[in-house]
Amino acid sequence: MKKIDFKKELKTLYRPSAKKVVEVDVPAMNYLMVDGDGAPGSEAHQAAIEALYTVAYILKFMIKKGELAIDYGVLPLEGLWWAEDMSDFVNDNKDNWIWTMMIMQPEWVSQALFEQAVAQVKAKKNLVAIDKVRFCAFSEGRCAQTLHIGPFSEEGPAVQRVHQFIEQCGAALSGKHHEIYLSDIRRAAPENWKTIIRQPMC
């Protein structure tokens, strides 16, 4: 059975340094996505994450046990964050935040396979957000990113470094603030949480 570690295969995207900000070109990739609003950790946010991971693992085992017989690790949870009034985002008014939570999918996951996975989930579990999960392509192109180590509440300096890097490149911010969560926050201490901070630029 073939085994693939996408975090190694895509290490420029999923294994950045915490010591510097780098520019990356993020190609179009397919994702499981759930859209929502409100503070991180809210019921809606937690329901979205549960639905995403459930479908992602069903797809993993469908591919592992299917004709392709490929075993791969489920990719980390990612989040796009913004607000209708961006001052709410800057000022930490979390109840007004808007988000898209997502998990990248290998190229051999199709719409048909996704629909089969969702049907399997519905047959076994009653997940609040299962009907909100969608499968679609997402492309960011030119981005700046770095790794933040520590609690989410202390991301500010890392975000600022990313924005300064973009300014120094003579570019401007575009798209949405993007975070990739490399740590299992249920098991790791907050001071050890690893989060990729990514910002599209143009």
Is residue 43 predicted with pLDDT exceeding 90?
yes
- Sheet with 134-138, side-by-side order of all strands: 22-26, 141-149, 194-200, 177-181, 77-82, 98-105, 29-37, 134-138
pLDDT tens for each residue of 101-124: 999 999 999 999 999 999 999 999
pLDDT at residue number 126: 95
pLDDT at residue number 88: 83
Distance between CA atoms of residues 127 and 24, nearest Å: 36
- Give this prediction's pTM: 0.95
Distance between CA atoms of residues 180 and 155, nearest Å: 12
pLDDT at residue number 186: 83
Same fold, 1-27+141-202 and 28-138: yes
pLDDT tens for each residue of 78-94: 999 999 988 887 788 89
pLDDT at residue number 190: 95
pLDDT at residue number 179: 97
Phi, psi (rounded to 5 degrees) for 85: -110, 105
CATH for 28-138, options being 3.20.80.10, 3.30.830.10, 3.40.190.10, 2.120.10.80: 3.20.80.10
pLDDT tens for each residue of 45-77: 999 999 999 999 999 999 999 999 999 999 999
CATH for 1-27+141-202, options being 3.20.20.120, 3.40.190.150, 2.40.128.20, 3.20.80.10: 3.20.80.10
Phi, psi (rounded to 5 degrees) for 40: -60, 135
pLDDT tens for each residue of 148-188: 999 999 999 999 999 999 999 999 999 999 999 999 888 89
Surface-to-core class of residue 131, CB atoms within 10 Å of its CB (0-12 exposed, 13-18 middle, 19+ buried): exposed
What residue ranges do the domains of the chain occupy?
1-27+141-202, 28-138
Two structure tokens written together for 145: 């990113």
Task: Name every residue whose Cβ is closer than 8 Å to that of residue 143 and which is 6 or more positions away in sequence.
Answer: 23, 24, 25, 26, 178, 198, 199, 200, 201
Distance between CA atoms of residues 8 and 6, nearest Å: 5
Region 11-39 average pLDDT: 96
3-class DSSP state of 82: strand
pLDDT at residue number 89: 79
